[in-house]
Amino acid sequence: MKQTVISLFVKRTISPLFNKVLLFCAVAFLIGGLAVPVQAGGIKVAAVFETPIEEPWVNQIHVALLQAKKEMGIEYTWSESVKSADFARIMREYAENGYQLITGDSFGAERIARRVARDYPQVSFVFGSGIGPAEPNFGVFDNWIHEPAYLSGMIAGKMTKTNILGVVAAMPIPEVNRLSNAFCSGAKEVNKNVRCRFSFIGSFFDPPKAKEAALAQIEAGADVLYAERFGVIEACNEKGVLAISNMSDQSSLGPDTVITGPVWDMWPTIKHVVTLVKAGVPTAQDFGGFSYMGKGGSYLAPYHNWDSKLPAAVKAMVEKRKAEMLDGTF
């Protein structure tokens, strides 16, 4: 509308010099309400995490922010294990202390995070969320790693001897179901006889409870487990069954147990968001697409010790399906 009003005054009879002056004024008028570019150097970034930093989901965000500190010169600090009762206070403290970008996970504090963001329109807030972005300054992302989860399921479907796969997950919410279902769908593509058993521990971070659920799955016959939550691999190590890790490369936790698993790389997301904030571009966007394999935001973890033990036919099958995912034919 602003452009239309201005254009009414731009006539062919106006001098070229006046045209240039008018155009300059119009552009200044149009961008006046947008975010202002920050200093050329680094920006101040804070993260607010609901779980301990070692929990794989938040750890992947943390690792990407540390990379941004090293490569993009940001000033970075964080708060972990933040309870809902403290979430708003900590967010406000960061906002009032000059932080230009505040990020983290808000699945357990959606309303709180969004309410605080409305009070600080000059600050960019970009959080892990199951809901869409909100103008003017609340952006979202999520772990869209269902593609490598599917590939992991294909491997599990070929490696199981009992045809029973166990999934130990946080809770039956869309973000968790997306990965669990992708894993089982991949397994069933290559093994029609496979059955998936699901256990939900009711928490995003409770390793002892996850281990207990995994042991119950193994007792019920599962011989390959998808460790959607932290703690499952320990049970697999003890019982000598196979595991598929989640979020990060966790081979070091069980070199002879963990075959592979979907890895979430938050660097493409964080790099893009920090670039936008430094340029003064509003960040009320959905950045979930940066977690797709095609954007470099997710991939299948290296096989490590399993590179020589995994059948060549299985590896070839996975590579073929991966290529089809990347070129859009699957």
Q: Are residues 108 and 157 in the same domain?
A: no
Q: Are residues 217 and 78 in the same domain?
A: no
Q: Which residues in the chain land under pLDDT 70?
A: 1-41
Q: Are residues 196 and 256 in the same domain?
A: yes
Q: Output the pLDDT for position 108.
A: 83
Q: Are residues 291 and 306 in the same domain?
A: no
Query: Does residue 97 lie in a domain region?
Result: yes
Beta strand extents in the chain (DSSP E only):
44-48, 75-79, 101-105, 124-128, 138-141, 164-169, 195-200, 224-227, 242-244, 258-260, 262-264, 298-300
Q: Output the pLDDT for position 37.
A: 54
Q: Are residues 98 and 177 in the same domain?
A: no
- Count of all residues that appear for the chain in the document: 330
Q: Output the pLDDT for position 29.
A: 34
Q: Residue 14: which domain range?
A: 2-27
Q: Are residues 310 and 195 in the same domain?
A: yes
Q: Are residues 130 and 178 in the same domain?
A: no
Q: Are residues 223 and 150 in the same domain?
A: yes
What are the residues whose beta carbons fall under 8 Å from the beta carbon of 328, sequence distance 6 or more? none
Q: Output the pLDDT for position 107.
A: 85
CATH of the domain at 100: 3.40.50.2300
Determine the distance from the C-alpha atom of residue 326 to the mean position of all C-alpha atoms in its chain, rounded to a whole number: 19
Radius of gyration of the chain (CA): 24
The answer to whether the predicted template modeling score (pTM) of the entire model surpasses 0.75 is: yes
Q: Output the pLDDT for position 79.
A: 98
Q: Output the pLDDT for position 41.
A: 62
Domain count for the chain: 3
Q: Are residues 170 and 219 in the same domain?
A: yes
Query: Does residue 36 lie in a domain region?
Result: no
- Strand-by-strand arrangement of the 258-260 sheet: 195-200, 164-169, 224-227, 242-244, 258-260
